[in-house]
Amino acid sequence: MTTSPKTLRLLMPQWQGGNNPTYRLGARLLAWLAPEGDAEFAEVPVAQPDGSKLPVEEGIVAKTAILGQNRTALEIIRKADPDRIVTFGGDCSVSLAPFSYLATKYAGDVAVLWIDSHVDLTSSQFYENAHGYPMRNLLGQGDAEFAAFTETPIPGNRLVYVGVGKDRMSEGSLRDIDAMGARVFDPSELTGNFAEVIDWLKACGASKLLVHFDLDVLDPEHFRAQLFNNPDGLADHFVGMATGKLTFANVIDLLGRSAEVIDIVALSITEHLPWDAENLRQALARLPILSR
């Protein structure tokens, strides 16, 4: 008699990796909005923002807090011993613990589908926010204490990106990705049935798939709750950065077709920034009859 795979739903409202407290509310809303199920549920304790500026430690914003929260996440996951993990984040670095756990559980048999408008392959040498590092760390590279989570590094030729605009990538990034054997499918290269991605999944040599879905891969004209739609305006260093081109229908279709050819054992949904809800929350807290 076979048993059904055990799924863990993990709420990880980590916000320090993107240095933005609104990620905390975004993660909680994702978990609340998700359809109900009978999967085991766990929440990773995350330090609440108190209005103070986060420290930069060895070139990384809130390094100690982020490492500690990821270690706690990994402890929760190991105790639950799931076969599949759905993670509601939080900034992109929430994929580090669940993906590293499953990469070891299914050693040698996992591929990664990173649906994002950015490759998340940088390190503290170039960028101080940890949400730019997770895929580099899952390759066993980058900042040592983060890369150490990955006991079984994911081979570069088992990594495929969907949604990244090649015209916004540096020549160095394109060379690095080509050298490691990863694939990038620019939105302009995608056909209606995603045949090119499905063919890659069939040929990748793995039977298990880890999916990272960053909501900023969506066209900001169609999905407002993301970084580039901050109603207070964009900081100068965000101007000119790549924005998404896909729709929810695209992502749903892509994952539905992927599930027909490979077993999806992880789904991380990240970078939800519900600006209107956050502004409303703050306003309610200041109303005389509601304030403490």
Which tens digit of pLDDT belongs to each residue from 126-141?
A: 999 999 999 999 999 9
On average, the pLDDT of the chain sits at 94
Task: Read off the pLDDT of residues 83-99 as tens digits, 9 standing for 90 and up.
Answer: 999 999 999 999 999 99
Cα angle 279, 282, 284; round to 5? 110
Q: Give the model confidence (pLDDT) of 188-198 as tens digits.
A: 999 989 999 99
Q: What is the pLDDT of residue 239?
A: 61
d(Cα 214, Cα 216) in Å, to the nearest integer?
Answer: 5
**pLDDT score at 172:** 79
pLDDT 10s digits, 243-292: 899 999 999 999 999 999 999 999 999 999 999 999 999 999 999 988 76
Residues facing residue 218 across a β-bridge:
246
> Phi then psi for 154, rounded to 5 degrees?
-85, 125
pLDDT reported for residue 238: 57
Per-residue pLDDT at 237: 52
Give the H or E element holding residue 88. strand 84-89
The pLDDT of residue 292 is 65
> Residue 147 has which token pair?
């890369």
Does residue 171 register a pLDDT over 90? no
Reply yes or no on domain 7-286 having CATH 3.30.70.270.
no
Q: Is the pLDDT of residue 69 over 60?
A: yes
Residues whose CB falls within 8 Å of the CB of residue 157, separated by 6 or more in sequence, listed in order = 180, 181, 182, 204
Domain boundaries defined on the chain:
7-286
| Tens-digit pLDDT profile for residues 172-216 | 788 889 999 999 999 999 998 999 999 999 999 999 999 999 999
Task: Look up residue 39 and give its amino acid.
Answer: A
pLDDT digits (tens, 9 = 90+) for 224-246: 999 888 887 654 555 667 789 99
What pTM, to 2 d.p., does this model score? 0.96
Burial 162-177 (b: 16+ CB within 10 A, else e): bbbbbeebeeebeebb
Tokens standing for 259? 């599930």
Write 122-128 long-range contacts (CB < 8 A, 24+): 124/58, 124/59, 124/60, 125/59, 128/56, 128/59, 128/60, 128/61
Q: How many CB atoms lie within 10 A of CB 224?
A: 14
- Give me the percent of the chain exceeding a pLDDT of 90: 86
DSSP label at residue 170: -
